[in-house]
Amino acid sequence: MPTQMYKQYGKRTYTIRVAPNGVSGWRAVASVGHMEGGVFFTDFSKITGLSGYSADDAWVRAEAQVLTFIDKIDS
């Protein structure tokens, strides 16, 4: 997994950043926003996935939460 990537879901754009969390884990923070002129603007942030296993696991957990969040705010 990359450490950061922008993805489109419906009319929203989101990004997830993965970083080490202390000594034995990984933290992924997702932000939901929109792109204007190639620049990402954050509308919502701090949707977090934590994992003691791997960066990929943290990414998957955060992505599941962010997609659920987008579904809720857009419905």
For the chain, the domains span: 4-70
Determine the pLDDT at residue 3: 66
Model confidence at 12: pLDDT above 70: yes
Model confidence at 65: pLDDT above 60: yes
Cα 39 to Cα 11, 51, 59, distances in angstroms: 16, 29, 22
Determine the pLDDT at residue 73: 92
Q: How far apart are CA 10 and CA 24, in angstroms?
A: 35
| pLDDT tens string 34-50 | 999 989 999 998 878 88
